[in-house]
Every structure is written in structure tokens, then in C-alpha cells.
Structure 1
Amino acid sequence: MEKKESTRPWNKPSRSRESAENYLRAILEIRSSHGRCRNVDIARHLGVSRASVSKALVKLSEAGLVEVVDHDVGFTSEGRAIAEATSARHRFFEGLLRDAGVDADEASRDACRLEHCVSADSFEKLYSHLTRSRPSE
């Protein structure tokens, strides 16, 4: 069965989609390492103000991607799926760049840009092509 991309606006290339994906990936990373996620954790992680985080969380909540209960930021099922897909793209591109000899910091920065500009279909095909053509390690 063919996967369909969501028709919501953040799945179209845009700065708002990139911002949403960055917030969702940050929430995923924070929850994975700390078990919970608060506004202040996101602000520290992304290097932004708590006011910026509050505004972003309102938008993400209105979009049906996150829920905030007792100051703990969690995902809806759709939000988690987007966060996990974004994180997978980031890890893939970061690993590919590191394998090519790019230093860790630059690879992470570049992976952050690349993760947002590739469609789900293109990413799946690129991933399949490169993992199929790589020798087993």
C-alpha cells in the first residue's frame, strides 16, 4: 500500500513546516532523554526564548500535533509520526555526511537543513537506493 503524505500545510516546503519539524524533533529528543518535556527544556534545546516556544506550541496544538498537560508537552499520534520521520531523515543525512568525511558539527547543521527539503517519497527512494547499494558492514 502506498503511503500518502498529509495534506496539512506543514507538509509543503515552507519556513513554518521547517519550524514545526524542528520543534517536534526537539520534543522527541527531550522526551527520549528526560522522560518529559517542558517549555523551558525546548527553549534551552533550540536556543530560543520561552515566549517563542509558547507561541510555537499553540500553533502545534491547534494543528493537532502536540498536547500540553500539566506543563508536560506530549505528542498526538500524528505529531509523533512527523517527529519520528524528521528524526529519521536527520540521522540518515547526518550519517551520510559523516561517512563522506564532514565534521560532526557541520554534518549536524547540514542534516538539519536537508531533513526539511526532501519529500517523503524522495527520501524513501534515496534511502532504499543508498542502503541497497552500500556493502554490508
Structure 2
Amino acid sequence: MKIQESAENYLETILILQQRNGQVRSIDIVNEMNFKKSSISVAMKHFRENGYICMDEDGYITLTESGLAIAEHIYERHRTLTKYFMALGVSEKNAKKDACKIEHDISEESFNKIREHLSKLQQ
């Protein structure tokens, strides 16, 4: 299922925050992404309605199976592209920034070839 880039970024951020902090609330997403609380609230409502997240009575957010699949897919692309650019000599800062831009648009074929090439470089 293809969703908008902004939705992919939100889900990826939730995954990263869960890995870093264990638990995630909307305010954590606000602080991480530097967005307004109202924007995050609208997005989280949309994600709940579409089955990408669950939110408990204390406001803690958990990715559902479908939300997790999207988040993991995008985050793998981000990590792989960052490593690849750094292997080419790009600074870490620029590699992360560029990976974030490309991770949403690159074809599966091109991404798989980059992953294969990176694997050969790391041997």
C-alpha cells in the first residue's frame, strides 16, 4: 500500500522513538519533528482511523502490524541509503539528509541494487 511521504515520515519517527525511548506519546513526536501539536493530533487521529497506530488511555502510541511494516520499510531504506552515501565519502549529516529525501521515491529495483552494491563494499 502506497501512502503519502508525510505519513511515512510520521510512522518512521514513531518507530525510531519507540526504539530509542520504549514508549511514544504525541508530544514526543512534536518534539522530534518540530511540528505543531495540532498537526500531530490530526495525523494521529488519521492513523488511528486507518489502522496504523493504537493509542491507549494514557496516550501512549503503538504501531499496528500495518503501521510497523511501513515504518520498518522506510527506516531500512533510510539506514541503507545513509550507509551507502557515507561509503561514497558523503558526510554523515548530508548522507542522512539526502537519504531522507530519496527513501520515499526510489524504486524497489534501484534500492535493491544499491543494497547489493553496499553489501559488496562492506565485504
TM over 0.5: same fold?
Answer: yes
Structure 1 residues 83-116: Cα deviation after superposition (integer angstroms, max 9, x where no partner): 0111000001111111112112111111100110
**Structure 1 segment 98-113 matched on structure 2, within 5 A:** 98-113=86-101
**TM-score calculated relative to the size of structure 1:** 0.81
**For 1:58 and 1:120, how far apart are their aligned partners in 2?**
30
Shift of 1:134: 2.9
**Structure 1 ranges of 4+ moved more than 4 A:** none
**For 1:51 and 1:135, how far apart are their aligned partners in 2?**
43
Task: Work out whether 1:60 is the aligned partner of 2:10.
Answer: no
Task: Work out whether 1:49 is the aligned partner of 2:41.
Answer: no
Secondary structure in 2 matching 1:36:
coil
Shift of 1:66: 0.9
The structure with higher relative contact order (CA 8 Å, sep 6+) is: 2
**For 1:134 and 1:64, how far apart are their aligned partners in 2?**
39
**Structure 1 segment 74-89 matched on structure 2, within 5 A:** 74-89=62-77
**For 2:110 and 2:100, how far apart are their aligned partners in 1?**
17
Task: Work out whether 1:90 is the aligned partner of 2:78.
Answer: yes
**For 2:31 and 2:13, how far apart are their aligned partners in 1?**
10
Aligned length: 122
**Structure 1 segment 4-83 matched on structure 2, within 5 A:** 6=1, 9-10=2-3, 17-70=4-57, 71-83=59-71
Larger deviation, residues 116-125 vs 97-106 = 116-125
**For 1:60 and 1:53, how far apart are their aligned partners in 2?**
10
Question: Alpha carbons of 1:26 and 1:126: their partners in 2 closer, same or farther (altered >3 Å)?
Answer: same
**For 2:122 and 2:71, how far apart are their aligned partners in 1?**
29
The Cα RMSD (Å) is 1.6
Question: Alpha carbons of 1:132 and 1:107: their partners in 2 closer, same or farther (altered >3 Å)?
Answer: closer
**TM-score calculated relative to the size of structure 2:** 0.89
Shift of 1:63: 2.0
Shift of 1:118: 1.6
Question: Alpha carbons of 1:132 and 1:94: their partners in 2 closer, same or farther (altered >3 Å)?
Answer: closer
Shift of 1:121: 4.5
Shift of 1:123: 2.2
- In the alignment, is the contact (CA less than 8 A) between 2:17 and 2:23 conserved in 1? yes
* Map of 1:120 onto structure 2: 108
Gaps of 5+ in 2: none
